[in-house]
């Protein structure tokens, strides 16, 4: 009888230590950050893309809505940069129709505006003072929306039937991806603004 109860006691202790360990670990391991990112991403229009593009930066994001919005802008900027570089290279290639060349160079210009707007947003957010939070977030929301407009204008240039199939598919795919990343970044910025109050 005594043996059984001390055995149960030991099991109870063991169970408790597992429980304590795992709930303690949840607070300090990356798990809580990826869970925070997953939950925050439900506020975006493209939650899967949001999660896959941001969970790899969980160590920088931790559980901060501000760092999450920052990381989303970083990811968007770097994706827009590489697409812009790719398009500049493509537009110098041979075998493009004049219509394609002109759509490509218009697009590179629009992307360059979007890059400026994203860079300004990242800058402004990192230099924000508490006293001008409202002004800062307003600027950032305006610029990120403007970046979305520029990206969509670029995408429109590749919507018609005048384009070569491969080129159109490649470019449109990249632009759609950037536009979705930008839309997600804006949602996370809005969420940060809301939480900040
Ligand atoms: C965003 O990019 C900047 C510059 O590369 C970097 O210093 C910063 O840590 C990044 N922020 C996040 C949250 O990833």
Can you tell me which atom of ligand 1 is nearest the CA of 67? 13
Asked if 125 and 70 touch (Cβ cutoff 8 Å), the reply is yes
- Would you state the torsion angle of the CA atoms of residues 167, 98, 96, 92, taken in this order, to the nearest 10 degrees? -100
> How many whole angstroms separate alpha carbon 185 and alpha carbon 197?
18
The pLDDT value recorded for residue 11 is: 61
* pLDDT (tens place) for every residue of the chain, 197 residues total: 445 566 666 666 555 555 554 555 444 455 799 999 999 999 999 999 999 999 999 999 999 999 999 999 999 999 999 999 999 998 887 788 888 888 899 999 999 999 999 999 999 999 888 889 999 999 999 999 999 999 999 988 888 776 778 888 889 999 999 999 999 999 999 999 999 86
- What is the structure's pLDDT at 8? 67
Residue identifier of the C-alpha nearest atom 1 of ligand 1: 74
Rounded to 5°, the CA angle 80-82-88 comes to 100
pLDDT computed for residue 14 by the predictor = 56
CA-nearest residue for atom 12, ligand 1, is 71
SS3 call for 159: coil
pLDDT for the residue numbered 30: 59
At 140, is the secondary structure helix, strand, or coil? helix
Pocket of ligand 1 (CB under 6 A): 57, 60-61, 67, 70-71, 74
Of all protein residues, the one whose alpha carbon is nearest to atom 6 of ligand 1 is 74
* DSSP 8-state code for residue 106: H
Which of 56, 68, 71 is the best mutation target for the ligand 1 pocket, counting ligand atoms within 8 Å of the beta carbon and taking the most?
Answer: 71
| Superfamily name with CATH number, domain 32-196 | Invertase/pectin methylesterase inhibitor family protein (1.20.140.40)
User: Ligand 1 pocket: which of 74, 79, 80, 127 to mutate (most atoms <8 Å of CB)?
Assistant: 74
Question: What per-residue confidence (pLDDT) applies to 16?
Answer: 56
- Model confidence pTM above 0.85: no
**List of residues 6+ apart from 75 with CB closer than 8 A:** 53, 54, 57, 181, 185
Between CA 86 and CA 187 the distance in angstroms is: 27
- pLDDT for the residue 1: 44
Tokens at residue 75, please? Answer: 């990811």
How far does residue 48's CA lie from ligand 1's centre (Å)? 22
């Amino acid at each position: 009888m005594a043996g059984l109860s001390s055995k149960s006691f030991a099991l109870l202790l063991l169970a408790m230590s597992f429980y304590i360990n795992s709930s303690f670990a949840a607070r300090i391991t990356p798990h809580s950050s990826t869970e925070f990112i997953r939950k925050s991403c439900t506020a975006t229009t493209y939650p899967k893309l949001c999660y896959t593009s941001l969970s790899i930066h969980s160590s920088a994001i931790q559980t901060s809505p501000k760092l999450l919005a920052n990381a989303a802008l970083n990811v968007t900027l770097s994706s827009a940069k590489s697409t812009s570089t790719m398009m500049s290279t493509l537009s110098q290639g041979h075998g493009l129709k004049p219509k394609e060349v002109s759509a490509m160079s218009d697009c590179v210009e629009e992307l360059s505006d979007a890059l400026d707007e994203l860079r300004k947003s990242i800058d402004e957010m990192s230099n924000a003072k508490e006293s001008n939070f409202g002004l800062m977030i307003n600027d950032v929301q305006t610029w990120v929306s403007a970046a979305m407009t520029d990206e969509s204008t670029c995408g429109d240039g590749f919507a018609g039937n005048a384009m070569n199939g491969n080129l159109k598919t490649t470019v449109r795919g990249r632009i759609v991806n950037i536009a979705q990343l930008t839309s997600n970044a804006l949602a996370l910025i809005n969420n940060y603004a809301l939480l900040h109050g």
